[in-house]
Amino acid sequence: MTNKRTAVEVKTTGPSYLAWRGELLAELALARLPSLLVHKRADHPASDLPYDFLVATERGLCFFVEVKAFSSSRLAVSDVRTVPELLWSVDAGLIRRVRANQSPFILFLFDADTDHGRYLRLDTLPDPQPGSRRLVVQFPLEQTINRRNVERLIADLDKAATA
């Protein structure tokens, strides 16, 4: 049975397994590309730019990856892999900070129940309106985390850095 919803808003709060499982899924997705050097952040001290991984390409481009996870079973989504858009509420201050940073900033969003993940480049989003506290961002189905799509993302990042 396919899911008839065109968009689902996900919440990244819930069971404790969401955080550690999301990070493991992200690490696995990045490890599938042996050309990447992946450094996992050991802790999350108060800083201006939160991230879970710092990633470097063969050409020397560095970018940040933040990981969030949700539970499709808690949201009663029968097949998250068929939902055209996943929606998630992000802190507008984070968008402002990553836009001001020199390095690309990618958000990985995983369903910890099915291993399905999607990505979104946050540093290219429009600047939030002054006074905005939260923004709902869209993760389209076309940005599913798989080897081909992550390779394409890396190639696009490298191309943009050399342009």
| pLDDT tens string 27-71 | 999 999 999 999 988 665 555 668 899 999 988 899 999 999 999
What's 135's domain CATH number? Answer: 3.40.1350
Asked if residue 35 is part of any domain, the answer here is yes
107 Cβ contact list (under 8 Å, min separation 6): 65, 66, 67, 68, 90, 119, 120, 121, 122, 137
Which residues face 106 on adjacent strands?
A: 65, 121
Q: Does the pTM exceed 0.85?
A: yes
Q: How many domains does the chain have?
A: 1
Asked if residue 1 is part of any domain, the answer here is no
Cα 97 to chain centroid distance, Å, stands at: 16
pLDDT in tens, 58-107: 888 999 999 999 999 898 888 899 999 999 999 999 999 999 988 999 99
- Which tokens sit at 20? 């550690």
Asked if residue 2 is part of any domain, the answer here is no
- Give the range of the structural domain holding residue 126, as residue numbers without chain letter: 7-162
Asked if residue 106 is part of any domain, the answer here is yes
